[in-house]
A and B are shown apart, each in its own frame.
Chain A
Amino acid sequence: MIQIKNLTKKYGSTVALDRLDLEIHPGEIIGLFGPNGAGKTTLIKSIFGFVNYQGSITLDGEPITRKNIARMSFGTCEHSFFPGINANDHAEFYRDHFQSFDERRFAVLMDFFDLPRNKKIKHMSTGQQNQFEVIMALSQGSDYIFLDEPFAGNDIFNREDFYKVLLGMLGPDETLLLSTHLIEEVSGLVSRAVLLDKGKIIGDKQIAELDSENAGLIDYIKDAYSYKADRVFQALEQLSPEGE
């Protein structure tokens, strides 16, 4: 379990994360939702220690260091592959550096996405690069997989296939945290939704709970952000010339 307690992150005087608490349990598929700037990326980067923060983050009770950090993997829209080498060389690198690198999964996913093995990653299309980024995160052999907006630039068919592959592939104890703005698309995929806004968690709900309440995820999310359906209308009204 990953336990986050009282996590605060400031960039200068801007508060990116505000005394945030969160527990991530084995086997969960978590959708991390929130508008741009809500702190989704900062939260993930804090967990990995890629940014400094205040508060405590532990993995099964231990602080996250080089000793246990390989139990987590990270695929990001910023990309973290090595642009100058090809897929086979990546596999070799991961084999050398991650004991639990999943050779089979790597091969299956490479075939599934039909990615070339001998092409430098920087020469692939953006869509292919995103796929490769995700492949490496999934194949590292980690227990906790974090994907941050992994599908920017991929078409919907690609994404839908990908969700299916994910579901077929993940073991019962593998945990996935998916940060995305494609809420509708992943609403059936996730087992839990965590809603972030202005550095705070404003909603955290198991889908099973929502099901019992007969409520849909989208409505729950709209409620949490107190989405005002007549917002557009009001804005237009204010803009319209006087006297009309």
Chain B
Amino acid sequence: MISFVSFKPDNSSPIYLQILAFVKRGIASGKIKDSDELPSRRALSVLLGINPNTVQRAFSMLEEEGLISSSHGVTSIVTAPPERVNKLKEEILAADAKSTAALFKQNGLSLEQAAALLAAYWEEV
């Protein structure tokens, strides 16, 4: 069963997107594995204190993207074969790289300067 204990919604974007992102990052990082079971929609709604419609929407999106499959409409199972996980990792990395690049640009750094900065901290983390 996937734990949503560490999920903390904020007011920055629609909550269904935050659920979506939470699951995606979980899969990419390996915390959520293939054929893990999700809580029922109702249970998740109660657990998070979030309107069932919102949870429903998040689940639908996950289904659309093929990341979960629901049998009998009750239990939902994660479908993340290795190639899908890799693709997700790439997607998330790309997104993170994009926002980091944007941040560097905002601060007026050139590509070389950014690379140098990254290199300087590479060993530290």
- Give me the interface of A with B, judged by CB distance under 8 Å: 29, 160, 163-165, 167-168, 184, 187-191, 207-208, 210-211, 214-218
Whether the pair A188, B42 counts as a contact (CB closer than 8 A) is: no
CB of B70 closer than 8 Å to a CB of A:
no
Which B11-43 residues have C-beta < 8 A from chain A?
Answer: 11-17, 42
Of the candidates B15, B42, B49, B54, the one whose C-beta lies within 8 Å of that of A163 is B49
Whether the pair A188, B51 counts as a contact (CB closer than 8 A) is: yes
Which B40-54 residues have C-beta < 8 A from chain A?
Answer: 42, 45-54
Of the candidates B14, B47, B51, the one whose C-beta lies within 8 Å of that of A29 is B51
If A163-B49, A164-B46, A188-B48 touch, whether A216 touches B54 (CB-CB below 8 Å) is no
- Give me the interface of B with A, judged by CB distance under 8 Å: 9, 11-17, 42, 45-54, 57
- A-B contacts besides A188-B51, A216-B12, A218-B11, 7 pairs, CB < 8 Å: A160-B49, A164-B46, A168-B45, A188-B49, A188-B54, A189-B49, A211-B57
Q: Which of A191, A211, A217 has the most CB of B within 10 A?
A: A211
Whether the pair A187, B54 counts as a contact (CB closer than 8 A) is: no
Whether the pair B11, A216 counts as a contact (CB closer than 8 A) is: yes
Residues of A with C-beta under 8 A to B51: 29, 167, 188-191, 207
Closest CB of chain B to A135's CB: distance in Å? 18
Q: List, sorted by A's number, 10 A–B pairs whose CB atoms are closer than 8 Å.
A: A164-B49, A188-B49, A190-B51, A191-B51, A207-B53, A208-B53, A211-B14, A214-B14, A216-B12, A216-B13
* A214 and B46 alpha carbons, distance in the complex (Å): 23
Residues of A with C-beta under 8 A to B17: 211, 214
Whether the pair B11, A167 counts as a contact (CB closer than 8 A) is: no
Whether the pair B54, A207 counts as a contact (CB closer than 8 A) is: yes
Whether the pair A214, B52 counts as a contact (CB closer than 8 A) is: no
Whether the pair B49, A187 counts as a contact (CB closer than 8 A) is: no
Q: Which of A165, A167, A187, A191 has the most CB of B within 10 A?
A: A167
* A184 and B10 alpha carbons, distance in the complex (Å): 9
Closest 4 CB pairs of A and B: A168-B46, A163-B49, A188-B50, A211-B14
Residues of B with C-beta under 8 A to A210: 14
* A238 and B12 alpha carbons, distance in the complex (Å): 32
Closest CB of chain B to A152's CB: distance in Å? 19
If A167-B46, A207-B53, A207-B54 touch, whether A184 touches B14 (CB-CB below 8 Å) is no
* A217 and B13 alpha carbons, distance in the complex (Å): 9
* A167 and B57 alpha carbons, distance in the complex (Å): 16
Closest CB of chain B to A42's CB: distance in Å? 27
Residues of A with C-beta under 8 A to B13: 214, 216
Closest CB of chain A to B18's CB: distance in Å? 10
Whether the pair B46, A188 counts as a contact (CB closer than 8 A) is: no
Residues of B with C-beta under 8 A to A184: 11
Residues of B with C-beta under 8 A to A214: 13-14, 17
Select from chain A the residue with minimum beta-carbon distance to B11: A218
Residues of A with C-beta under 8 A to B48: 164, 188
Select from chain A the residue with minimum beta-carbon distance to B51: A191
Residues of A with C-beta under 8 A to B12: 216
